[in-house]
């Protein structure tokens, strides 16, 4: 990856967006001790309960902001943000499964802060990483 570029079409729809990028190098993404990541996820699930004060997810301020964002860039009907899926599982008493260290870390961050997070293996990219509106 040379640069992380946010295209103008994104800023046109979300002029006040705040976007963070973390680059981690030399990561061994194999699970050596699953209990460490399971515990991290359980703690994040407990913290996520602060975002679940509303009975209906459709009235939850954390969810509402992301549903509105999805409406603005016209996703498929019913498409939901990753943090909504995570919070819904916590609300329903389902534990978040451990997947691999990096996914477990960004899922924990999503739960703790009510923000969608994701990750990519930037060693597989050629050129810049671009955040843009998709055509389909």
Q: How does pLDDT run across 100-123, given as a tens digit for each residue?
A: 999 999 999 999 999 999 988 888
Answer yes or no: is pLDDT of 2 > 90: no
**Segments in 1-136 forming alpha helices (H):** 8-13, 34-48, 61-72, 82-91, 101-113
Determine contact, residues 82/110, Cβ cutoff 8 Å: yes
Q: Work out the percent of the chain whose per-residue pLDDT is above 70.
A: 97
Positive or negative, the CA dihedral 122, 128, 134, 136 is negative
Q: pTM for the whole thing?
A: 0.85
Q: How does pLDDT run across 50-81, given as a tens digit for each residue?
A: 999 877 888 888 888 888 888 887 777 777 88
Among 26, 36, 7, which residue's Cα sits nearest to residue 100?
36
Among 115, 116, 111, which residue's Cα sits nearest to residue 48?
111
For residue 136, the model assigns a pLDDT of 60
């Amino acid at each position: 990856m040379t640069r992380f570029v946010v295209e103008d079409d994104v800023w046109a729809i979300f002029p006040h967006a705040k976007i963070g990028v973390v680059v981690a190098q030399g990561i061994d993404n194999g699970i050596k001790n699953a209990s460490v990541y399971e515990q991290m996820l359980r703690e994040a699930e407990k913290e996520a309960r602060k975002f679940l004060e509303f009975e209906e997810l459709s009235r939850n301020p954390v969810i509402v902001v992301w549903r509105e964002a999805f409406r603005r860039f016209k996703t498929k009907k019913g498409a939901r943000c990753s943090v909504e899926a995570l919070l819904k599982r916590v609300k329903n008493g389902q534990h978040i499964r451990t997947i691999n260290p990096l996914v477990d870390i960004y899922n924990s961050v999503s739960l703790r802060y009510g923000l969608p997070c994701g990750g990519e293996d930037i060693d597989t990219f050629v050129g810049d990483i671009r955040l843009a509106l998709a055509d389909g």
